[in-house]
A and B are shown apart, each in its own frame.
Chain A
Amino acid sequence: MGINYFLILALLLFSIGVAGVLLRRNAIIVFMCIELMLNSVNLVFVSFSSYLGNSIGQIFVFFIMTVAAAEAAVGLAIIIALFRNKETINIDEINILKW
């Protein structure tokens, strides 16, 4: 199997993630779609690492996973703090910085 199969799969995942970030207005769904996009990038890293025969791409996947875990913890803390203050997580209503 050529590498294009894996690249097309990652591309589909990334496009679905972009669509979710743009279409949905729930902050947690937007968050999940960002995780989808991170996963598709990881998939590209792993497929190139495998097809090039060295493991450096997999090291990058580890660092992306670390940052994704940190992002998940801090992002969900922010969403929960927002919900406590405004009683909503609709990102269209969270606009107090806009004037």
Chain B
Amino acid sequence: MNYYEIIFYVFAVLTVVSAGVVVFSRNIIYSAFALLFTFTGVAGIYVLLNADFIAITQLLIYVGGIMILLIFGVMLTTNVTNVEITTQTLKALPATIVVAIVSALLVSTMVSTKWAVKDPISVESTTINQIGELLLTKYLLPFEIASIVLLIAMMGAAFLARKN
């Protein structure tokens, strides 16, 4: 077992365990903070996959942006005085069946498909040059549309959350 695999397993266990805490924790604050560790673990996996710029973006956008939004949402919508009642066992059986079906479908697709991938990962110095070139040449129109989407989402969120 080399260092690459050890680091992979550390980040994989961190990601999966904290994702489990997100789903099965009784306390919503624990869920929010476990989600932070999930995002960090996924960023670590990105680094292992030679996607350095994506990893930094993951840390900035998810850990820095979306997590803050979620924690604000938790604090604005949770009554501190009464304990949250979880109705977890209400529809557990149909939910378990659906999850099992979805997982089985994904596993069978993954096993039965012959992926046309190269086996070793080619180690390049950085991916920023390629990403920047692609974003400003071939994918320029989606890039600009993404900025308009963000602008409209900002205005919509401000309008919806406004007190009137």
* Chain A residues at the B interface, C-beta cutoff of 8 Å: 1-9, 11-20, 22-29, 31-33, 35-36, 39, 42-43, 46-56, 58-59, 61-63, 65-74, 76-81, 83-84, 89-90, 92
Contact = CB atoms under 8 A, between A and B. Distances in A.
A65 B161 CA distance: 22
B140 to A, nearest CB: 11
A9 B106 contact: no
B161 A81 contact: yes
Contact of A80 (B49, B76, B122): B76
A25 B5 CA distance: 37
Interface string B103-132: 100110010000111110110000100110
Interface residues of B, number: 81
A54 B122 CA distance: 10
Given A55-B130, A73-B69, A80-B77, A18 B160 contact: no
B10 interface: no
Contacts of B94: 22
Contacts, number: 217
Nearest to B65: A69
B106 A14 contact: yes
B102 A15 contact: yes
B17 to A, nearest CB: 10
A2 B153 CA distance: 39
5 contacts: A11-B106, A51-B121, A58-B131, A62-B131, A77-B157
B99 to A, nearest CB: 5
B134 A3 contact: no
Interface in B138-164: 139, 142, 146, 149-150, 152-154, 156-161, 163
A50 B51 CA distance: 7
Contacts of A66: 146, 149-150
A11 to B, nearest CB: 5
Contact of B42 (A15, A42, A72, A83): A42
B150 to A, nearest CB: 6
B16 A9 contact: yes
Contacts of A73: 69, 153-154, 156-157
A59 B45 contact: no
Contacts of A6: 45, 49
